[in-house]
Structures are given as C-alpha cells and as structure tokens.
Amino acid sequence: MTLLVFGRSGQVAQALQTICPGATFLGRDKADLADPAACAQAIHAAAPWGVINAAAWTAVDTAETEEAAAHVVNAAAPGAMATACAGLGIPLVHISTDYVFDGSGTEPWTPDSPVAPLGAYGRTKLAGEQAITSSGAVAAILRTSWVFSAHGANFVKTMRRLGASRDSLSVVADQIGGPTPAAEIAAACLIMVQRLRDEPDLAGTYHLSGAPDVSWADFAREIFRQTNLPCQVTDIPTTAYPTPAQRPANSRLDCTSLTETFGIPRPDWRVGLADVLTALKGTQP
C-alpha cells in the first residue's frame, strides 16, 4: 500500500517528493481536480493507506471571475476525495488557508474562530473544508499562510528577482501574517497522516504558519538582507496596491493545537528562507 498525494508540481507537493519519494504523486494528467469523480476513482484504484491533498486552485485574483471553476477544484474535488477515503476507512490530510477568515483585528485566528471569507478563493476553500468535515472521513484540515519555497511562483522568488534589478520597492506593510516554508508544511502533513492512521480521534482542523509574524514589507527586507541586495523597501498601505481580490489584513494563525496534538512547533521562517535561498543560489533571479 502506498501514500497517495494529489499534486505534483506545486510547492508542497514538490517538498513531499523530497521527504517521501516512495509515495504516489498524481499530477493533473493523472487526476484533474476539475473532475471530482476522477479524483475519487484514483483513490479507489490506488487503494492507499492514506491521502494528502496538496493540490488546489491558488490563483486568488482569477477566482474572483471564475468562482464556479475554482469551487469545483477547491470544494467539490476535496469533498469527493474525502467521501472515497471514508468509504475505504483511510485518513486524509487536506491543506487549506487563512483566507477563510475576514482578516479583522490583531489577534491570531484559532481553528475555532468564526470564518468569514472576503472573496471567492476563501469561499471555495471554506466550502472544501465543509465538504470534508461532512463526509465522515478521518481527516485533518491544515490551514496555512504565505507559502514559499524554491519552486513555483511565490513572494520570495518575486522579491529576489525584483530586488536584483531595482534600487527600491514599495511593499504592503499593513497585512500581517506568518510566512511558511513549503518544506515545513510537507513535513507536518506527513506526520499528521501517519498519526491519523493509528489515532483517528486526532481528526480536526489545525493551523501552521511560520514565526514570527511580520508584514509583507518586513518579509521583503529580510529577503534582501539574506541575499545581500541593497534594494530599499518603502512601506505602503494595501489601498496603494489594489488587487481584484481583497486580502486579509490579519493573517496571524494560532498554531497551539498543532503543537499540542502532533508535537509540531511553529517553524522559524527566517531559517526556512535561508534554506530556500541556498537552493536558489546560482539560478537566475
């Protein structure tokens, strides 16, 4: 029996391939999340001991105009996966997001905090959580934030590229959250799915984000500090950088229950950043 992972090219899926090469990874060619029935069929065909869903519609702005398509990928497909897992009696770990919250206040969101998504992406991810919870599967939902790695498109790679060619950048300073290395999310997912196999009572919703909480502007400053780039960062408000989808101002996540239940502490994202920048060394910004 194998561990089945939905996703192959995404940041967390790439990290999982590094730490769990023996798992079976399904890309879009093998299981397209736009076809929920095919996802369920893939689980039944593989008969795995557990499933991790590391695939999603993550184009936040595009979701505003293509919400129906995003809903299939982020809600209907995970629901179908969970129903299949429930039928086979195997655990599921699903990655969700801080976008299920409205971003108000300054206190960290707990897994039990009231949900109120600001936009289409958050609504579709919340619908996915609800579908999983109602499926009866032994499932853990892991909400995370501000994911970065040496793969794919993310804030670290964007800042590294722009910082190499500009003297200064204006970066949003009134959105606060915890940058999270994809490698830490992958490691947490693996621990969680293994524990759930033997301890189904651990099913539930958990949070994982890097520490300490920072603004995007301060995140950028640390990227430039570690890359020895002289690019200066000017703080700007969210209103000065409009986007189709509204971003949460407060993305702080309370990760206490994850640490208490699974022994997984909040990672220092600055250490993870150093690892990512080492991996990127020698590549074109």
Residue in 99, 121, 206, 241 annotated catalytic: 121
Active site residue 241: no
Q: What is the 3-state secondary structure (H, E, C) of the chain?
A: CCEEEECCCCHHHHHHHHHCCCCEEECCCCCCCCCHHHHHHHHHHHCCCEEEECCCCCCHHHHCCCHHHHHHHHHHHHHHHHHHHHHHCCCEEEEEEHHHCCCCCCCCECCCCCCCCCCHHHHHHHHHHHHHHHHCCCEEEEEECCEECCCCCCHHHHHHHHHCCCCEEEEECCCEECCEEHHHHHHHHHHHHHHHHHCHHHCEEEEECCECCEEHHHHHHHHHHHCCCCCEEEEECHHHCCCCCCCCCEECECCHHHHHHHCCCCCEHHHHHHHHHHHHCCCCC
Active site residue ranges: 121
